[in-house]
Amino acid sequence: MKYVVGYRPDERGADAIALAGVIAKTQGAELHLVNVVHGSRENDPAAKKQALALVPNMVTATYSTRTAESFADGLIATAKEDNAALIVVGAASNGLFKRFTLGSVANGLLHASPIPVALAPRGYNRRDPLTRLTVMTGVREGWQAVLDVGTTAAGRRNVPLRLVSLVEIDQLEQENFDLDHALSPARQHANTVLAEAASKLPADKVTVTLAHGRNIEEAVDGIGWKSGELVVVGSSRLAENHKIFLGSTANKILRSLPVPMVVVPRDFVRQGI
């Protein structure tokens, strides 16, 4: 298994390598560090040495420079050639510490990639392996692909899988509002997803959480996060088949997360990351 890592000789490049190393450690995956340049730019011979020095011990990595019209295009083309399971990039450098701000590279990937994309928060420097996977299980079409990726990834790494269903209360408020009744469809869906996940993983490795707040950001903040956590979400139903398109809910989740996130393309059928 191979992961393509978008590298630039800056903080974002270091964040991406750190996250790729953490995800790869318990998977035995190989990293392909890719520095995408425009044709008029000369290669920096020091960049390869600098990039490989950031790779954690016990993780195999190669480095290459690729010429392309855009950083996102170069990463997608390389990932297709490598038959990669994942593309990993860092968030924009002007985001708040441990929060996400999407730059042009991430935006390009999140509207075109046929391969799952992992986003590292600014300042991400973890070295230890993952400790838990959290899958956001929305009720809309496409949740099955996200669940398949999450259960497979958790099973391979022997880490707990947490299933989270988010409910935005402000969207539900009305006359004679009954919170328990309003949460019932989400609770029923969460239990359905839990049963399916439990059929593939040991019962003590799967939990379900129904989180709610006045808005998505409040619901996400109230869940509780581990430093070694990775979140998996799906693409919007507006995405083209087998491609990513980040919907409004996923965007809200992204802005609130203190941990890395993987976005899975619509109708993605390949197992695991």
Q: Are residues 152 and 251 in the same domain?
A: yes
Q: Of the candidates 63, 90, 62, 66, which has an alpha carbon nearest to the alpha carbon of residue 78?
A: 66
**Per-residue tens of pLDDT for the chain, all 273 residues:** 999 999 999 899 999 999 999 999 878 899 999 999 876 656 677 899 999 999 998 899 999 999 998 899 999 999 999 999 999 998 765 544 445 556 677 778 877 888 999 999 888 999 998 999 998 876 556 677 788 888 888 888 899 999 887 765 555 455 444 555 555 666 666 677 767 777 778 778 888 877 767 777 787 888 888 889 999 987 754 445 545 556 666 677 777 788 898 988 877 766 678
Give the DSSP letter string of 75-113: HHHHHHHHT-SEEEEEPPTTSPTTS----HHHHHHTTT-
Residue 270 is assigned to a structural domain of this protein: no
Token representation of residue 2: 């191979």
Q: Is 181 helix (H, G, I), strand (E, B) or coil?
A: helix
Q: Are residues 187 and 257 in the same domain?
A: yes
Q: Are residues 55 and 146 in the same domain?
A: no
Residue 106 is assigned to a structural domain of this protein: yes
Q: Are residues 116 and 136 in the same domain?
A: no
Q: Are residues 112 and 12 in the same domain?
A: yes
Question: How far from the centroid of its chain's Cα atoms is residue 172's Cα?
Answer: 28
Phi-psi region of 233 (alpha: psi -120 to 50; beta: other; left: phi over 0): beta
Token representation of residue 224: 């509780």
User: Which residue carries 């000369």 as its tokens?
Assistant: 42
pTM score, two decimals?
0.85
- Under 8 Å between Cβ of 163 and 193: yes
Q: Are residues 92 and 157 in the same domain?
A: no
Dist. CA 233–CA 245, nearest whole Å: 11
Q: Is 269 helix (H, G, I), strand (E, B) or coil?
A: coil
The range of the structural domain enclosing residue 95 comes to 2-120
> How many folded domains does the chain comprise?
2
Dist. CA 244–CA 237, nearest whole Å: 9
Q: Is 224 helix (H, G, I), strand (E, B) or coil?
A: coil
